[in-house]
């Protein structure tokens, strides 16, 4: 009968289950029974906060409508994933300065687990009017999403930024504020906001609608800075497919975090965890960074 094995958390090599030290590297081996996954940690690692940040000026009407219509189906597909993510949805709509009664700058809808609330918010969006100068208050939308919305501390955090116009100050031909959004002295730029998002574990994916070059450039840099990705959207019909593919890949990261969290022992290296779990070392490395950020690893 083959004896059960114990894998060293530091170097990944196989040891007798009863061994107290690794035969290869001398590291302390966990006592059998202490490596059980914490239920609490597993629960926390199912949390996924999704904040949609959307341009709500006139040209975006079709996209807002498309999002509202497909939300239910989208969430159903996500919840079929074996991870069964525990989703909370937030929404920030932005238009432009100056704020008037008709033309607000941003509207925020706090994170909720109720899909109905989000649909209701999108119903009220009424994308009309807007700045009319071809650049919008992207800074304000991202600022609210990153700093004002109440993210769950341990949740996997994703922003989906969707728009067809650049922020002010990105060289768009018609721009009422060519030197940048009037709130920048207070809020920072889209890039500094994206940097801060990354430090706090918030990844921004930007969905660029249409072919405005200043929009493409700015949206690419926003996503790249935060560790996310820029996705060009060719038509309203493509929006939901792209969003689903982004979110499925994010749920995949949540799954990796769960596996890494369970396999982790104090002092374990990414190499050892990769050997233990069969995950790619790059994926383990990224996952350990996320778990450290959430203070879930010792």
Q: Which of 44, 138, 181, 247 binds Zn ion (CB under 5 A)?
A: 181
Q: What is the DSSP letter of 259?
A: H
Q: Which runs of consecutive H residues, i.e. helices, occur in the chain?
A: 39-44, 61-79, 115-123, 138-143, 184-187, 190-199, 213-226, 236-263, 270-277, 281-293
Instruction: Pick out residues in 4-33 that bind Zn ion (CB under 5 A).
Output: 8, 10-11, 22, 24-25, 27
How many angstroms separate the first and last alpha carbons of the chain?
36
Q: Please enumerate in sequence order all residues whose Cβ is within 8 A of that of 69, keeping only pairs 6 or more positions apart, or say none.
A: none
Alpha carbons 166 and 214: distance in angstroms, whole number: 6
Q: Stretches 81-89, 106-114, 181-189, 205-213: which one binds Zn ion (CB under 5 A)?
A: 181-189
Q: Are 281 and 139 in contact (CB under 8 A)?
A: no
- Cβ of residue 145: shortest distance to Zn ion, in angstroms? 13
Q: Cβ closer to Zn ion: 183 or 244?
A: 183
Q: Is 44 in the site for Zn ion (CB under 5 A)?
A: no
Q: What are phi and psi of 171, to 5 degrees?
A: 80, 20
Min CB(132)–Zn ion separation in Å: 16
- State in angstroms the smallest separation of the CB of 106 from Zn ion: 9
Nearest distance in Å: CB 205, Zn ion? 22
| 193 is a contact residue toward Zn ion (CB under 5 A) | no
Residue with tokens 């890039």: 191
Is 119 exposed, middle or buried (CB count within 10 Å of its CB: 0-12, 13-18, 19+)? middle
Sign of CA dihedral 182, 109, 121, 243: positive
Give the binding-site size for Zn ion (rule: CB under 5 A). 12
For residue 166, what are the CA distances in angstroms to 65, 74, 121, 143, 261?
Answer: 21, 27, 24, 15, 39
Question: Where does this chain touch Zn ion (CB under 5 A) — which range of 69-77, 85-93, 175-183, 191-199?
Answer: 175-183
| Nearest distance from C-beta of residue 8 to Zn ion, angstroms | 3
Residue 6 or residue 181: which is nearer to Zn ion going by CB? 181
- Nearer CB in complex with Zn ion: 10/207: 10
CB of 119 to Zn ion, least distance (A): 27
- Is residue 92 near Zn ion by the rule CB under 5 A? no
Q: Which of residues 97-156 bind Zn ion (CB under 5 A)?
A: 137, 139-140
Cβ proximity to Zn ion, 38 vs 100, nearer residue: 100
**Shortest CB 113 distance to Zn ion, Å:** 30
Window 247-286: contact mask with Zn ion (x via CB under 5 A): ----------------------------------------
Q: Closest distance between Zn ion and the C-beta of residue 137, in Å?
A: 4
Question: Quick one: CA dihedral 28, 34, 40, 45, positive or negative?
Answer: positive
The nearer residue to Zn ion, 27 or 218, going by C-beta atoms, is: 27
| Distance from C-alpha of 258 to C-alpha of 291, rounded to nearest angstrom | 10
Output the CA torsion 165→171→175→177 (10° steps): 110
Q: Which residues bind Zn ion (CB under 5 A)?
A: 8, 10-11, 22, 24-25, 27, 137, 139-140, 181, 183
């Amino acid at each position: 009968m083959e004896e059960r094995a114990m894998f060293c958390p530091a170097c990944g090599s196989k040891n007798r289950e009863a061994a107290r030290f690794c035969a290869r590297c001398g590291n302390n081996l966990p006592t059998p029974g202490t490596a059980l996954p914490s239920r609490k940690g597993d629960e926390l690692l199912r949390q996924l906060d999704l904040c949609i940040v959307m341009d709500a000026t006139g040209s975006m009407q079709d996209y807002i409508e498309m999002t509202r219509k497909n939300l239910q189906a989208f969430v159903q597909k996500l919840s079929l994933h074996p991870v069964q993510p525990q989703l909370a949805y937030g929404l920030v709509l932005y238009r432009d300065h100056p704020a008037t009664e008709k033309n607000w700058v941003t509207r925020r809808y706090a994170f909720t687990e109720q899909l109905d609330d989000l649909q209701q918010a999108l119903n009220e969006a009424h994308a009309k009017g807007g700045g009319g100068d071809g650049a919008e208050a992207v800074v304000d939308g991202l600022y609210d999403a990153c700093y004002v919305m109440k993210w769950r501390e341990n949740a996997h955090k994703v922003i989906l930024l969707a728009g067809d116009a650049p922020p002010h100050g990105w060289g768009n031909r018609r721009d009422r504020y060519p030197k940048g959004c009037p709130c920048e002295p207070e809020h920072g730029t889209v890039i500094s906001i994206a940097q801060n998002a990354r430090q706090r574990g918030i990844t921004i994916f930007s969905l660029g609608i249409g072919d405005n070059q200043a929009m493409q450039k700015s949206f690419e840099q926003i996503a790249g800075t935060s560790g996310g990705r820029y996705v060009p959207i060719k038509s309203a019909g493509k929006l939901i497919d792209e969003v689903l593919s982004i979110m499925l890949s994010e749920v995949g990261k949540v799954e990796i975090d769960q596996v890494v969290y369970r396999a982790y022992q104090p002092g374990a290296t990414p190499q050892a965890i990769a050997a233990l779990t069969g995950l790619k070392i790059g994926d383990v490395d990224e996952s350990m960074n996320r778990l450290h950020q959430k203070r879930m690893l010792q």
